[in-house]
């Protein structure tokens, strides 16, 4: 179901921000489109190309470790985590999706570094394709979310 969202996202001045994007290489036809959406959103908000670092990891399960290592460098104002887990015939889907999503949340809370969560979990390929394209691009949404969290930091 597609729900209408309130238009709370605006353009944020990202000229001075440094953002790292962690992208899963698994399901590259999906994560590649999400990556493009994330970069477009960052650029639209003024983040300079030289201030966008990209780290490619094998799959969604490896995203939290890459996020943790990037957070520990203290070089970034925020991170974007992009991956795609599609349900198959075994329970593997549940372990990978739960582990990767909880792992990213754990890194965010322990390091106090905003992370835009763009790890999609779908029942089938069609759903993944819908969530990685056009106005439903979850990579773009994750990038916008991290910019808003950086902009709205509670001190």
Catalytic (active site) residue 136: no
SS3 call for 44:
helix
Instruction: Report the C-alpha gap between 76 and 28 in whole angstroms.
Output: 25
Four-CA torsion 92, 97, 99, 103, nearest 10 degrees: 160
Q: Which of 92, 94, 102, 136 is flagged as catalytic? A: 92
- Write the CA distances from 96 to 78, 90, 99, 117, 150, integer angstroms: 23, 11, 5, 15, 28
Q: Are 88 and 122 in contact (CB under 8 A)?
A: no
> Hey, which residues are catalytic here?
92
């Amino acid at each position: 179901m597609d729900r209408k969202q309130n238009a709370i996202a605006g353009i944020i001045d990202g000229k001075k921000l440094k953002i790292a994007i962690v992208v899963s290489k698994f399901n590259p036809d999906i994560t590649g489109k999400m990556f493009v959406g994330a970069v477009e959103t960052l650029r639209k908000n003024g983040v300079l190309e030289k201030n966008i670092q990209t780290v490619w990891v094998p799959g969604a399960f490896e995203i939290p470790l890459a996020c943790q290592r990037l957070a520990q460098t203290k070089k970034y104002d925020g991170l974007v985590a992009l991956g795609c887990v599609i349900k198959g015939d075994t329970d593997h889907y549940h372990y990978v999706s739960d582990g990767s999503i909880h792992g990213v949340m754990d890194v965010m809370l322990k390091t106090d570094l905003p992370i835009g969560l763009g790890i999609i979990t779908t029942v089938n390929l069609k759903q993944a394709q819908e969530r990685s394209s056009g106005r439903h691009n979850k990579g773009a949404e994750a990038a916008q979310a991290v910019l808003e969290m950086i902009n709205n930091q509670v001190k």
